[in-house]
Amino acid sequence: MKRAILFPGQGSQSVGMGRDFYDAIPECKALFEKANEVLGYDLAAICFDGPEEELKKSHNTQPAIFTVSAAAYEALKLKKPEVTFDFAAGHSLGEWGALYMAGVISFEDTLRILKARGEFIQTACEANPGAMLAVIGLDRAALETISAEAGVEIANINSPGQIVLSGKAEGIAKAEALCKEAGAKRALPLPVAGAFHSPLMAPAAEKMTAFLADVPLAEPRIPVLSNVTGAPHENVEAIRANMVAQITGSVQWVDCIQWLAAQDVEEFVECGPGKVLAGLLKRIDKTRSVSNIGTLTDLEA
C-alpha cells in the first residue's frame, strides 16, 4: 500500500502546539532547542505559551509550524519505525517541511529560510497592503471570471468547493460582492496580514531568489509535490525556481492530492499542528484514508 505524508501551512498554528513532544521525547526537545539557537530567540516559548498575537506573526508562525511538524515526524520515526512514505507534499510553507523530510534540505537551513520568508512576506504585506477571501460553494471557472472582473487572483485551490482569492482590499471587497451575487454559500474575508500567493508578494519572491541561491539542496529521496505545478519537483534547480514561484503563485492543492491519488496512494498522514489538510482531503477524495499526527495522543492512537 502506498502512503503519502502531508505538512500543514499557515493557519494551522495554536498556542500550546508541540509541548507534549518536547516534554516526552528528548529528540523532539533537541529540535526545539536547535530552533531556538538558529533563530536567536525562544521559539519554543512562543509555540507553548504564546501570546497568540506573537505566534500569528509570519516570521514566527512559519518556523513554529515547521518545527512542530518536524518534531511530530521525529516522534513518528521513533515510535513507528515500520511506517514509511512513498511521497511527500505540503501546503504553502508546509512544502518546506516536505522537502526537509525528503532529505532535500537540513533542519537548520529550513528554519533560516522560513524566518527569512516570513520577514520578506511581512515586509511585502506592509508595502503592498492586501486581503484574502475564502469562497465556499463556487467552482474554479466561476471564480476565474469573478477574479478577472475584480482584479484579484486565485491564491489557493484547497478543495473543489473551497477556493481562496487574494489581492488589493478594494478588489477583494468587489469579489466578495460578486461571489455573493453568484450564489456562493459563503465568502469570508480571512484574518491575514496581506495578499499571500498573489503578485503583491513579488518583492518577497525577489528577495527569496537571492536568499535561496546559496542554500545547499540535495535531490529528494522520495518525490515531493510542488504547490505550483501540482506534480513532483523534477530536480534541485526546479525546486529553487518553484519555491520562489510559490510565493506569488496559487497553491494547486487539489492537483497535488489528485496526482497522488492517481499513483494509488491509499493512506495519507498529516504531520504537524491542526487538522486542516485532513479536512480538505476528505472533500477532495472521500475514498482515501487520512490520519493526523499533531500530538502524542494522535501518534499513540
Of 127-131, 190-194, 261-265, the range with the lowest mean pLDDT is: 190-194
Interval 195-210 mean pLDDT: 97
**Which class is 2-126+198-300 in CATH?**
alpha beta
CA distance 67 to 229: 26
Matching residue, cell 513532544: 21
CB 63 within 8 A of CB 31: no
Q: Is the pLDDT of residue 191 over 90?
A: no
Give the helix ranges, DSSP H, for the chain.
Answer: 19-24, 26-39, 43-49, 52-55, 58-79, 94-101, 107-127, 140-150, 169-181, 202-212, 236-248, 253-262, 276-284, 296-300
129-189: CATH architecture:
2-Layer Sandwich (3.30)
* Confidence band for 58, pLDDT divided at 50, 70 and 90: confident
Residue 301, pLDDT > 90, answer no
**The pLDDT of residue 167 is above 90:** yes
Show the cell assigned to 185: 454559500
Print the SS3 string covering 195-250: CCCCHHHHHHHHHHHHHHCCCCCCCCCCCEECCCCCCECCCHHHHHHHHHHHHHCC
Q: How far apart (Å, rounded) are the C-alpha atoms in residues 250 and 136?
A: 17
pLDDT given for residue 292 in this prediction: 95
**What digits encode the pLDDT tens for the residues 79-116?**
999 999 999 999 999 999 999 999 999 999 999 999 99
Q: 36 pLDDT exceeds 90? A: yes
In the prediction, which pLDDT does 300 show?
Answer: 87
Domain residue spans in the chain? 2-126+198-300, 129-189
Rounded to the nearest integer, the mean pLDDT of the chain is 96
Residue in 188, 21, 202 with CA at minimum distance from that of residue 128: 202
Specify the pTM.
0.96
Q: What is the pLDDT of residue 131?
A: 96
Q: Which residue has the higher pLDDT, 192 or 21?
A: 21
In angstroms, rounded to a whole number, what is the distance separating the alpha carbons of residues 189 and 177? 11
Q: How confident is the model at residue 193 (pLDDT cuts 50, 70, 90)?
A: confident
Cell triple for residue 75? 516522534
Task: Yes or no: say if 15 and 64 are a contact pair by the CB < 8 Å rule.
Answer: no
Share of the chain above pLDDT 90, in %: 96
What are the grid coordinates assigned to 115, written together?
524566518
As annotated, the active-site residues are 92, 197
Residue-wise pLDDT for 108-164, tens only, equals 999 999 999 999 999 999 999 999 999 999 999 999 999 999 999 999 999 999 999
Position 8, amino acid: P
